[in-house]
Structure 1
Amino acid sequence: MKPADIALFDLDHTLIPIDSDYEWGQFLCRIGAVDAQEFARRNADFFAQYQAGTLDAVEYLEFALGTLARFPRSQLDALHAQFMQEVIQPALLPVAYDLLKKHQDQGDLIAIITATNRFVTAPIARALGVAHLLAAEPETDTNNNITGKLIGVPSSGAGKVIHLQNWLALQEKQLSDFGSSYFYSDSHNDIPLLEAVTHPVATNPNDKLREHALAKAWPLLQLFEKQ
């Protein structure tokens, strides 16, 4: 019997044509939930560092999770519901659902693995119909409020490989147990995991990933018009 396959997907600029973490920050500024000028400045700086591949993931996550810690969970959930309606739903496009469905119809194990924290991304994964999400894990207190601390390592760069290995180990599996393994990503920051699978797919790739993919003869997939 042929072993099952696994299909992994980055989220931002891969399954959706926006960066959900950045847009969450912009949303908080727009509705007046944070000091717009200061937050927008820091958020833009971090986003530029991410695009350049120079982001200190722990520093950024402490900033992002610290912002979440200012609000009680009930208020955060209400804000996120508004964010989903105003920002995320318009970015959930048929081409992404079609790509996911191709792997669902094949019976593949499917997971989203993202550098963005679970609070921001869990509702997006649910909206996309993906049950398994590997993301930066915010610590919560006994009332489920976010404390501002990160649990474990960031889920970016080589950290994505660690998160995947840990998740598979809970199922008493490893990547090599699957017949084929796919990973779709837009970013050169994800090269460690792209190198680890049997079928890397540079999806809506940035310039650095496109160059690397062409050198490696990896397939290129353009789901969206360039943003």
Structure 2
Amino acid sequence: MAKKKLTLFDLDHTLLTGDSDVLWCDFLIRRGILDRAEFSARNADMETRYKAGTVRVREFTEFYVSTLAGRSPEEWEPLRREFLDVEIVPRIPDAARELVEQHLASADLVAMTTATNRYITELTARHLRIEHLIASEPEVVGGRFTGRTSGTLNMREGKVVRLHSWLASRESSIASFEVTAFSDSINDLPLLLAADRPVAVDPDEKLAAWAAEHGQPVLRLR
């Protein structure tokens, strides 16, 4: 009996031309919500070290989650929707949309898995008609974001941990599926190694070298 299919999509620089966290930070700086002198250089530094695969997981994730601190999800909602419309939707290539639609039509289960926090990315997942989202979780206490995260961060090895937890919550396991995973980043190598069919999408230099060495497919969406 053939296994069911599970398709996993990274978001930033995979389905999206850009990084949601970096774009969100730049968006808030332009709106005057974040101080340019304080956040601009740190934002650029985080992006550089993420691409190099050298940034610490908690440092990276909580820097961006900290931008939400002090407001409720309801207070952020108008800006979150504007961010989707202005910054995210124009950066989703047609080829990425077509790839998602192809797998929605043929795969038993499709999920987006991203290091970016859930609040910033859930509208993107909905826009792409991806029902299931595995993301880093921003902490909310008393109805307001604290600027900290909750639970296992969905980055590097954490993506595999969270994948197993998500499947277990569905009373399933990775062994039940033929798994395809799409990503651009060496940071996602643990996830790609957990898949039956890893696909490097417009890969960074380190991931491109890994794909070439191991004979893995490379896909260009941009």
TM-score range, shorter chain: over 0.9
1:7 CA displacement: 0.3
1:184 maps to what in 2?
A: 182
1:221 maps to what in 2?
A: 219
2:94 maps to what in 1?
A: 94
Taking a change above 3 Å as real, the CA distance of residues 62 and 107 of structure 1, as seen in their structure-2 partners, is: closer
Of 66-75 and 184-193, more deviation after overlay is shown by 66-75
Runs (4+) of structure 1 exceeding 6 A deviation are: none
Query: Contact 1:92–1:128 at 8 Å: present in 2 too?
Result: no
Matches of residues 153-168 of structure 1 in structure 2 within 5 Å?
Answer: 153-168=152-167
Can you list the C-alpha shifts for 1:130-169, whole angstroms capped at 9, x where unaligned? 01000000111242x2112211121111110001000001
1:210 to 205, 208, 211: 208
Query: Contact 2:95–2:221 at 8 Å: present in 1 too?
Result: yes
2:115 maps to what in 1?
A: 115
Rounded to whole Å, the distance in 1 between the matches of 2:197 and 2:214 is 12
Rounded to whole Å, the distance in 2 between the matches of 1:46 and 1:70 is 22
- Structure 2, gaps ≥5 residues long: none
1:57 maps to what in 2?
A: 57
1:70 CA displacement: 3.1
Rounded to whole Å, the distance in 2 between the matches of 1:213 and 1:108 is 26
User: How much is the aligned-residue C-alpha RMSD, in angstroms?
Assistant: 1.2
Matches of residues 73-152 of structure 1 in structure 2 within 5 Å?
Answer: 73-143=73-143, 145-152=144-151
Rounded to whole Å, the distance in 1 between the matches of 2:62 and 2:213 is 36
State the AA in 1 paired with 2:147. G
1:201 maps to what in 2?
A: 199
Can you list the C-alpha shifts for 1:98-135, whole angstroms capped at 9, x where unaligned? 10111111133000000111111111111111010000
Can you list the C-alpha shifts for 1:167-222, whole angstroms capped at 9, x where unaligned? 001112111111x2100000011111101110000011011000000111000001
What is the TM-score normalised by the length of structure 2?
0.96
Rounded to whole Å, the distance in 2 between the matches of 1:132 and 1:187 is 21
- Structure 1, gaps ≥5 residues long: none
Name the count of aligned residue pairs. 222
1:46 maps to what in 2?
A: 46
What is the TM-score normalised by the length of structure 1?
0.94
